[in-house]
Amino acid sequence: MKMFLFFSHELTDDQIKDANSMGIDEFVRLPEKLQKKWSHVPAQLDNLDEYIEDFYKFLDAEAQPGDYVLVQGDFGMCCKTVDYCRQKSLLPVYATSERVSKEIRKGDRIIKTSEFRHIKFRRY
């Protein structure tokens, strides 16, 4: 089973293990041109219908019903992609995480760090 990666980051080891436990044995990244387009959606666009067409064409050519699609990014692009996946019997998911925050005092300053740990993939 495949998982198509519609997001702007690299998978963590925990995410890969979680996906493997779901029966996913192949990860499909967007081609470089589409990856750049996904990661840099112009805020000035009034409508995403034309902008998103290349992503639909990619899914139509590469994905099979029952494949997973990890969808994270621009809110509008995510909504449209999730709807499209459902129409095509694809399984859209997103990653859930747990935040662990730490505060370290250095003199008069407090430095706060946050670590995010993958918990699971959740279906939209």
Residue 116 tokens, joined: 């995010």
Instruction: Give the span between the Cα atoms of 69 and 90, in whole angstroms.
Output: 7
Pairing outcome for strands 68-71 and 2-6: parallel
Closest CA to 75 of 48, 37, 44, 53: 48
The model's pLDDT over 75-87, given as tens digits with 9 standing for 90+, comes to 999 999 999 999 9
E strands within 1-124?
Answer: 2-6, 26-29, 68-71, 91-106, 109-123
Q: Please say if the pLDDT value at position 101 is more than 90.
A: no
Number of domains in the chain: 1
Residue identified by tokens 């044995």 is 25
Mean pLDDT of 65-71: 98
The model's pLDDT over 25-49, given as tens digits with 9 standing for 90+, comes to 999 999 999 999 999 999 999 999 9
Q: What DSSP character marks residue 81?
A: H
Split at pLDDT 50, 70, 90, the class of 115 is confident
Split at pLDDT 50, 70, 90, the class of 116 is confident
The pTM for the full model equals: 0.88
Split at pLDDT 50, 70, 90, the class of 20 is very high
Instruction: Give the span between the Cα atoms of 3 and 12, in whole angstroms.
Output: 14
Closest CA to 93 of 39, 33, 27: 27
Least confident piece of the model among 24-28, 106-110, 112-116: 112-116
Range of the domain at 102: 2-123
Which is more confident, 100 or 3? 3
Residue 76 tokens, joined: 């509008």
Q: Can you give the pLDDT at residue 42?
A: 97
